[in-house]
Structure 1
Amino acid sequence: MKENEVSIKLDRLDKRIIRALQHDGRLANNELARMIGLSPSSCLRRVRILEDAGVIRKYAAIVDSNKVGLPFSMFARVWLVGQDAETIDRFIEAMKELPQVVECYIILGECDALLKVLMPDLMSYRTFQSTHLTKKNGILSVKTDLPSQIIKQSHEFPLG
């Protein structure tokens, strides 16, 4: 937890606020308050508490990757050259610097990391892989999967 974040227990109203904002982060406070059944000042106070606690980390636009020229989502399973802290840290820092890597997870399982990489075409990915997914960034091996169809993609968490 960051030093400015506080611990918070979510109640029914907090969860309703979060669900509404996950669905539409551009809701005006007055509209959100009406939907939740709170006064605008109470609703705003709760939203600020959720933000200060780090429950709501930020607000962002969800962009269609196809419409901005990045139709290829590649999933790269990565094996590192070692499990030592220096290798892992080098890999993490390298991945943070690559805008093409939109998601990066250290994995407990067969591989060491999983990346989601957005690309305009397959040749661009091949160039990216041979340039960045290499030993200089602590990588031993990469296996890439290309999804043929997106069935479900959500940014909304299932809150009780």
Structure 2
Amino acid sequence: MDGTDQKLISALRHDARASLSDLAGYLGVSRTTVRSRIERLLASGEVLGFSVVLKADAQADPVRGLMMIGVEGRGADRIIRQLNGLPAVRATHTTNGRWDVIAEIGTATLEEFDDILARIRRFDGVATSETSLLLSTRKTARR
């Protein structure tokens, strides 16, 4: 992947519905070049696809946050399985550094959010946690 591909991906992240003509003008290449680069990125697996973010999706979870979790011993896989079984947990991530797991959580109310945090903190093997509420989202690559 070269600089033009990276610039193309950046433009598509900003507006995946941009026309080939607009993308070509932005990149300073022909429409055919843009089309072939997109096809090549899809064929190679660098780009997996395109998505749509619906207004209803964005409004579904008015209370959202990230819960960073420290796990005792080797229980991370078990805790991730438990997290993934909770409807309020939208995604789980393993990480390095201070925290072992990060859970993206979304609920309709602060009370529900508080309840899910308390439930997760009671999981056997959760040693520590820290949670940050998401106040606004300026950009998202996916939903």
Aligned pair in 2 of structure 1 residues 67, 142: CA closer, same or farther (>3 Å)? Answer: same
Aligned counterpart for 2:61 among listed residues 70, 78, 85: 70
Deviation, 1:24, is 0.2
TM-score (ref. length: structure 2): 0.72
Of the candidates 130, 135, 140, which is equivalent to residue 126 of structure 2?
Answer: 140
Percent of pairs identical after alignment? 18
What is the one-letter code of the residue matched to 2:139? Answer: S
Separation of aligned partners in 2, 1:31 and 1:50: 18
Q: Is residue 89 of structure 1 aligned with residue 77 of structure 2?
A: yes
After superposition, give the CA deviation of every residue in 1:10-64 in whole Å (9 maximum; x if it has no partner): 2232122112101101123343233323333321111121123332233223456
1:125 to 94, 113, 121: 113
Match of 1:34 among 25, 36, 57: 25
Residue correspondences, number: 141
Contact 2:76 2:101 in 1 (8 A): no
* Structure 1 residue 147: Cα displacement: 3.1
The farther-off stretch of 22-31 and 66-75 is 66-75
Q: 1:92 to 1:147 in 2, by over 3 A?
A: closer
Q: Secondary structure at the match of 1:123?
A: helix
Structure 2 spans left out of the alignment, 5+ residues: none
Across the aligned residues of Structure 1 and Structure 2, the Cα RMSD in angstroms comes to 3.1
Q: In structure 1, which of residues 3, 18, 22 is the aligned counterpart of residue 9 of structure 2?
A: 18
Verify the 8 A CA contact 2:67 2:105 in the aligned structure 1.
yes
Q: Please give the secondary structure, in 1, of the residue aligned with 2:133.
A: coil
- Kindly tell me: are residues 65 and 94 of structure 1, through their superposed partners in 2, closer, same or farther at Cα, counting changes over 3 Å? farther
In structure 1, stretches of 5+ residues that fail to align are 1-9
Q: TM-score, normalising length from structure 1?
A: 0.66
